[in-house]
Amino acid sequence: MFKIGVLISGGGTNLQSIIDNVNSGYLDCKIEIVISDSENAYGIERARKSGIDAVALPKKQYGDALSDEILKIVSERKVDLIVTAGFLSILKGELLKKYKNKIINIHPSLIPSFCGKGMYGLNVHKAAINYGVKTSGCTVHFVDEGTDTGPIIIQKAVPVFSDDTAEILQKRVLDKEHEALPEAIKLIAEDKLEVHDRRVLIK
Ligand code: GAR
């Protein structure tokens, strides 16, 4: 069975969407492990409630060794795909080499807009509203050495309305994230993707 490791930092609604899609049979996968870089992430509870192993590797404790520790765990458990779902630490080192094109991230904007350093959570939606864009959305992409720079797998757009607050836009985008992330995982689990430089093609 195709094994997924999910990395989280917070509430874990994207994790929940993966759990729900595994339970419904849409995804023929097993969530092998959930790893959080914060002990207080509600996503840890979501995992445990569903009988999924979850570990916390607090950023403060692991510091620069966080990626190596994650690599140790996912290798031991023979994880096929790492999904970063609201994971706020930057991955680096051996992990990126060993899991090249086997780590995906969900970002709450249409990359290359409103992404990169400091662009996470509500900051992204505030930036989109302040810029005045009429369309925003979410992006699922492969993770490489940069921040939000890897090849794009799926994007879904939503309208931005003149009376939107960052919170309202966040909710509209999150609903699309909960569709896009399981779709991307399914494409990878079924070996339907080919990566040619920056372009991801469906076979
Ligand atoms: C999601 O909107 C995700 O796209 C975003 O954090 C939120 C996590 O929500 N990620 C980033 O901003 C990363 N740059 P969740 O914990 O409910 O899944």
What pLDDT band is residue 131 in, cutting at 50, 70 and 90?
A: very high
Spatial neighbors of 23 by CB under 8 A, at least 6 apart, are 50
Does ligand 1 come within 6 angstroms of the Cβ of 83? no
What pLDDT is attached to residue 35? 98
Annotated binding site: which residue ranges? 12-14, 60, 105
Q: Whose CA is nearest to atom 2 of ligand 1?
A: 108
What pLDDT is attached to residue 34? 98
Rounded mean pLDDT, 54-63? 95
What pLDDT band is residue 87 in, cutting at 50, 70 and 90?
A: very high
Determine the length of the chain.
203
Does ligand 1 come within 6 angstroms of the Cβ of 120? yes
**Is-catalytic flag, 107?**
yes
Does ligand 1 come within 6 angstroms of the Cβ of 47? no
What pLDDT band is residue 96 in, cutting at 50, 70 and 90?
A: very high
Q: How far is the CA of 120 from the centre of ligand 1 (A)?
A: 7
Q: What atom of ligand 1 comes closest to residue 14's alpha carbon?
A: 18
Pocket test for ligand 1, best of 83, 124, 171 (most atoms within 8 A of CB): 124
CB atoms inside a 10 Å sphere around CB 115: 22
Q: Whose CA is nearest to atom 13 of ligand 1?
A: 120
Residue 106, beta-bridge partner list: 140
What pLDDT band is residue 7 in, cutting at 50, 70 and 90?
A: very high
Q: How far is the CA of 90 from the centre of ligand 1 (A)?
A: 14
Count CA atoms closer than 13 A to 21's CA, side-chain side.
Answer: 22
Rounded mean pLDDT, 10-30? 98
What pLDDT is attached to residue 28? 97
Domains of the chain: 1-99 (3.40.50.170), 106-203 (3.40.50.170)
What pLDDT is attached to residue 176? 98
Q: Look at phi and psi of residue 189 and say left if phi exceeds 0, alpha if psi is from -120 to 50, else beta.
A: alpha
Question: In the structure encoding, which two tokens stand for residue 37, read together?
Answer: 């870089």
